[in-house]
Chains A and B, each alone.
Chain A
C-alpha cells in the first residue's frame, strides 16, 4: 500500500515536472489567442496557408533580444512567403519591468516597423506552455495532420554579436531542411539570453 502511494506520488511529480519544462522537439503545440500591438487577436489558426511558424520569445529591453531584432525581421521577410511566418511573443511582465508594457511594445513595433505580430502574454500562460526561459528563444514549428509540431528549439544563430567567423544560422538551416521534407539536423541549441521577468508575488 505504502509502495503504491509512493509510486503514485512519483508519477504525479513526474507529470508536474514534465509540464513545467514546456514543449520538447516532437511535441504538438496548443494554439493560442494573444493580443497583438495593433489590438487584434492573433492565433496560429488564422494562418490558413502557413506550413509552420517561427515563434520567437523576445522583448523590448534585453540587449541580446535587441541585437537580434533585425535578424528576426529578416527571418520573416525571407520565410513568411515560403510558409513560415514569424510570431513574436513578449514573455515579460510589465509590473516587474515597466519598460515591457504594451504601450512600449507598440512604440517599439512602430519605430522598428515590425513586419510580424508582436504579442502580449499576460500571466505568462503561453510562455509557460512553451517552456521559454529567456529572450530571445525560438521555437520552430511545422504544420502536420496532428497539428503544429516543434522541430527546433534554441537560438537564431551562434553569432549574437555578429563577430563569429564560423556563423551557423540554425533557424534558416532548419526551415530549409523542413521545406525539402527533411528533419532539421540541429534540433536544439543553447544560448545566453535575458531571463524572463516573471510577475511578482
Chain B
C-alpha cells in the first residue's frame, strides 16, 4: 500500500512537472507569435466583417518603407486616443514572409508597437492589391478605413491630425 502510494506520488510529480513545462513552453511561443501573426486576405475580411460597430483603421506598411516607419507613431496616438471607442488599429506589414522572424518581430519589439501587427500572407501581389482597393497602385504607406460595408482607401502618408480628422469624418 505504502509502495503504491509512493509510486502514485512519483507519477503525480512527474506529470505535474511535465504540465508545468508544457505551460512554460506554450507561454514562450505565445509571446513570440503573439507579436506578429500571418494574415491572409480572407482572414482580414472575416475580421473586418465581424466588427459590428467597430471602425477598423488598417495601415499597410513595411519595415523597409521609411515614410511608413515615420508615420507609425501617428497610428499609435490614434489608437491611444480612441481606446474607449469602437476603433481598432491594425498594422499589416507587406514585408517578405521570410523576414518575419529576422526583421519584422524584432522591429515591433524594438519600437514597442502596441497595436495589433500582422504580416500579409498572400503570394500574388496582382490579386491582393486589386482586392484591397482597385485604385491602389501598390505604393505604401496606404491606409484603409472600414466599418461594415463602408470602405475608404488612402494611398498617402498621414499626419496625426489628418488621421484624427479622417476618422471623425468617416461615415
Contact = CB atoms under 8 A, between A and B. Distances in A.
Contacts of B130: 190
B138 A190 contact: yes
B123 A159 contact: yes
Interface residues of A, number: 23
A78 interface: no
Interface residues on B, range: 10 to 19
Secondary structure at the B interface, as helix, strand, loop or mixed, is loop
Contacts of A160: 96, 125
Contacts of A191: 125, 129, 138
A192 interface: yes
Nearest to B95: A63
Contact of B96 (A67, A166, A195): A67
Interface string B109-147: 000000000000001111001100000111110000000
26 contacts: A62-B64, A64-B64, A134-B137, A155-B125, A155-B126, A158-B125, A160-B125, A161-B96, A163-B97, A163-B98, A164-B123, A166-B123, A168-B126, A190-B125, A190-B129, A190-B136, A190-B138, A191-B125, A191-B138, A192-B94, A192-B138, A192-B139, A193-B139, A194-B65, A195-B65, A195-B67
A51 B109 CA distance: 51
Interface of B: 62, 64-65, 67, 94, 96-98, 123-126, 129-130, 136-140
Contacts of A20: none
Contacts of A165: 123
A63 B64 CA distance: 7
Contacts of B125: 155, 158, 160, 190-192
A166 B124 contact: yes
A195 B123 contact: no
A190 B64 contact: no
Contacts of A164: 123-124
Contacts of A62: 64
A194 B61 CA distance: 11
6 A-B pairs with least C-beta separation: A164-B123, A190-B138, A63-B64, A190-B129, A161-B96, A192-B138
A194 B64 contact: yes
A189 interface: yes
Contacts of B94: 192
Contacts of A155: 125-126
Given A155-B125, A158-B124, A158-B125, A133 B137 contact: yes
A134 B130 CA distance: 17
Contacts of A159: 123-124
Contacts of B98: 161, 163
Given A159-B123, A165-B123, A194-B64, A63 B139 contact: no
Nearest to A168: B126
Interface string A72-94: 00000000000000000000000
A196 to B, nearest CB: 10
Nearest to B98: A161
A199 to B, nearest CB: 15
Given A133-B137, A192-B140, A63 B96 contact: yes
